[in-house]
Amino acid sequence: MTRVTDEPTLVLHTRPYEDNALMVDMLTLNEGRISAVRKDARGSKQGNNLQVFSLLKASWFGRGEVMTLTRLNDVRAHWLNGEAAAAAYYIVELVVRLVREREPVPLIFASACESIALLGDGQPTSSVLRPFEHTLLTELGFGIDFSQDAVSGARIQKDQWYGFEPSIGFELSLEEGAPLERYAGAHLLAIANADYGSGRTRAVAQRIFQRALEPHLGYAPLRSRELLPPRASQGKEMQP
């Protein structure tokens, strides 16, 4: 029998379960992703606290795959809308699809919580999502070295262009012509230093992380992209 008390928790998803209960998918600091049931949740004060994106301290017990939630403390809800909601759903969708159950990922937990809090404070989505994607890839073991040429071992030079292959890394690209999938060394070094100040760096990071995540996400498209407000999604460079 497992019994956990006041574990820092991020609510990823809830769905109605049986008569009056909620099935909750959550990411926790020390226990990883957990599925749990909260009985008598719908229409109750405790149930109202179990909103997606809420940060709280959860207690549960149980054995097997699904735990039973008991106490919920220190609830901090995030009521996000528009682009911020789409970005937060993107974070949740990546976690649900890429983080295995019961595998502790404390740095991903911390980054997801911080990112959602920043979105709640009105920070631009692109400057919140890129650091999260970077942490997620690194912690899942798919880290990208933005400071080194993966083939020659040389340091990335800011005035050179580089090609990117997700399974290998960056390689110096000497070809002239359309740099469709080549990236300037200056942007790669900025990403290596977590300096997302320039819009162009954020766009390069978005493309590289998207390509790095693709092989792990499989063919099913990310549904959170559909949530971008209809007006905002047209001609936008900075989609989640």
Residues near another protein (CB under 8 A): 12-13, 15, 18-20, 25, 45, 48-49, 51-53, 75, 77-82, 85, 89, 92-93, 96, 222-224, 226-227, 229-232
Q: Give least dist CB 96 to another protein, A.
A: 6
Q: Measuring CA to CA, how many Å separate 192 from each of 130, 188, 226, 240?
A: 12, 6, 30, 20
User: 31 or 93: whose CB is closer to another protein?
Assistant: 93
Q: Give least dist CB 232 to another protein, A.
A: 8
Question: Using CA atoms, how far apart are residues 68 and 57, in angstroms rounded to an integer?
Answer: 14
Q: Give least dist CB 85 to another protein, A.
A: 5
Q: Give least dist CB 139 to another protein, A.
A: 21
Task: Report which residue type is found at 150.
Answer: A
User: 42 or 211: whose CB is closer to another protein?
Assistant: 42
User: 21 or 105: whose CB is closer to another protein?
Assistant: 21
Strand ordering across the sheet containing 169-172: 169-172, 161-165, 182-184
Q: Give least dist CB 28 to another protein, A.
A: 17
Place of tokens 């749990």: 36
Task: Report which residue type is found at 168.
Answer: I
User: 2 or 48: whose CB is closer to another protein?
Assistant: 48
User: 51 or 68: whose CB is closer to another protein?
Assistant: 51
Structure tokens at 106: 């404390």
Question: Using CA atoms, how far apart are residues 55 and 49, in angstroms rounded to an integer?
Answer: 9
Residue 169 and residue 150 in contact, taking contact as beta carbons nearer than 8 Å: yes
Place of tokens 């502790």: 104
